[in-house]
Amino acid sequence: MDQVLRAIGTEDHASAERSPSPQTPHPRPALHSSQSDPGATDAPSRGIKFPISKFPISDALKVLVYNFAPKAVTGQMRVWTLRHGRYRLRVGPDADRDDRMDSRTAERSLELARASAVPVTLPPKQVTVIELTRELRLDDERLLADLALSSAEVRLEGRTVHAAAHNIGSRAVESFDAALVDAAGTVRVRKTLGPLAAPLDLVPKRLPFAMGPLPAGAKGWSLVLDPDRRVPEIYEPNNRVRLRGD
């Protein structure tokens, strides 16, 4: 594997290190990752995070994680240094501490790029090996578009939402949808926007728009660009802003 990460995880935190040694690392002060750290895995229900952003760009990743909790922990591992492609995900235990998977408890194929989230479940009191190996090379994501919203530009006037769509990527977008999405994830209002050029001249590209109405008493609604993910992008999570006017 091009990248190997060993991590000791607990219910509240995790520590991690890159090491050529086949031995499980000894506990050390936890490396807490804030939300601004792009190279962190995260398990929202348990708060487990560990940074992996210092690795070079690669086609494979191997992670060894120990869960100290008395029950399984479910979360997400967000990858930031894998090239865009279709990867084979394999997961299994390592009971004999040889850094090799004893058996495969899960295996599937998935498309990954910068900032993709990989669902992870860590069984209690054991080392789990997570391996990702690229099977198919896809387009360089750095050459794609990147639609984005800024929470500082989203405001509610009456029941109308005002915002600006940005393209901070490398490719123009001819058309795309903006949507008001309710707390259950259902698109309730949709509007088609575009075109939106790419900032290849280093001048920001933005497209102001307004849409609504937002129902009175709406709770947990969000404004989302490209809700159906029809536009290939560098990074998807910056397409959403939660509305604060409820």
pLDDT at position 45, please? 39
CATH top-level class of 142-242: mainly beta
- Where the chain has pLDDT below 50, the residues are 1-2, 4, 8, 10-53, 246
What is the CATH number that goes with domain 4-137? 2.60.40
pLDDT attached to residue 216? 86
Predicted local distance difference test score (pLDDT) of residue 56: 67
Answer whether 4-137 and 142-242 agree in fold: yes
Check residue 238 and give its pLDDT.
95
What residue ranges do the domains of the chain occupy?
A: 4-137, 142-242
**How far apart, in Å, do the first and last CA atoms of the chain sit?**
48
Burial class (CB in 10 A: 0-12, 13-18, 19+), 128: buried
pTM of the model: 0.63
> Which pLDDT score, from 0 to 100, does residue 245 have?
56
Q: Which residue type sits at 157? A: E
- Helix, strand, or coil (residue 72): coil
